[in-house]
Amino acid sequence: MAIDGVRVVNGTFGYIYKEGKWLSQYNKANAKVEIQKAELKVAGDRWTRHKVLGLKGTGSLSGYKVTDELMQEVMVVTNSDKPSYRTELIYALKDPEAWGFERIRLMNVMFDSIDVANWEAGKEITEEWPFTFEGYELLDPIEE
């Protein structure tokens, strides 16, 4: 059966939520889990075998600078007597023509850097927030 082009999910209908609040200024998101493996050589076999040793979650969100709210939350890491900022994010895709909608919860999100200043005259200011995370949950899968 051929793919129905109407059912292809469109990123226009993507949403990012931080602790339940929609972050409407951000319009690009990604997250992936890197599977860390060791290579094993077995006697009498030419094939290299692999053993999973760990997982590493990385991602980012980016979009327009509207407030300094996220910077203020993340910058607590610069104060030696306070714990680093951890949060959770939910990435959602809600294309009305898709088979359904998808929500993915990213747990223990820790941001990697803070853009203190990044602008150019005559241009909208955008910002990118790379992060690591420790676990995810597929809350709502897209299924036919």
The secondary structure of 75-143 as a DSSP string is GGGGSTTSPPP-EEEEEEE--TTSSS-EEEEEEEEEE----S----TTS--EEEEEEEES-EEEEE---
Q: What are phi and psi of 7, to 5 degrees?
A: -85, -10
Which pLDDT band, with edges at 50, 70 and 90, does 1 fall under?
A: low
Amino acid present at 103: R
Find the mean pLDDT for residues 5-34: 88
Which of 28-42, 44-58, 64-78 has the lowest average pLDDT? 64-78
Could you tell me how far CA 142 lies from the centroid of its own chain? 18
Q: 10 pLDDT exceeds 90?
A: no
**What is the structure's pLDDT at 11?**
73
pTM: 0.86
